[in-house]
Amino acid sequence: MKIRVGFGFDVHRLVEGRELWLGGIRIEHSCGLLGHSDADVLIHALCDALLGAANMRDIGFHFPDTAGEYKNIDSKILLRDTVKMIRDKGYQIGNADITVCAERPKLNPHIPAMKKCLAEVMEVDEEDISIKATTTEKLGFTGREEGISVYATVLLQK
């Protein structure tokens, strides 16, 4: 059995007038994330980790923000397509470990729904997805509530 590890990172700016989508679910908040798609920074970092582990470049290569078909797209579609691409290459998902950095909103109450949503899209057990939320203790752009960043690590098996 071949084992591969991938790491993904993404960040999006918080702005007024947009919905906040994280982990495939909509979360009530005064701001949303700015991006070409729905700007689900968690899913984008997860896609990069999956693609990296399979040595398939990154999310921007496969789903460029210059392509009209991805304008305002639901990031769950990008994740579903990413999982299909890595499975077509012979990989299966072992697990994903994800850390979201945000001062607000408080994310812990939403983690079970995010895990459920991601597990359904990826066709894996919820037990195979770990999501943690942290703050940056009011330091940096995250601490100033200018944006949200996400780190994701995945294990693939072939």
d(CA 125, CA 34): 30
* Tokens found for residue 44: 């984008």
| Residue 147 one-letter amino acid | G
The reply to whether 83 sits in an annotated binding site is no
CA-wise closest residue to 41 among 17, 61, 62, 25? 25
What ranges in 29-150 are assigned the alpha helix state H? 41-53, 59-62, 75-88, 111-122, 140-143
Q: What are phi and psi of 93, to 5 degrees?
A: -85, 125
65 is in an annotated binding site: no
141 marked among binding-site residues: yes
Does 137 belong to an annotated binding site?
yes
- Is 12 annotated to bind a ligand? Reply is yes
Q: Any binding-site annotation on 37?
A: yes
Residue 60 marked in a binding site: yes
* Residue 144 annotated as binding site: yes
Ligand-binding annotation for 62, yes or no, is: no
Binding residues, as ranges, are 10-12, 36-37, 44, 58-60, 134-137, 141, 144
Binding residues for a divalent metal cation, as ranges, are 10, 12, 44
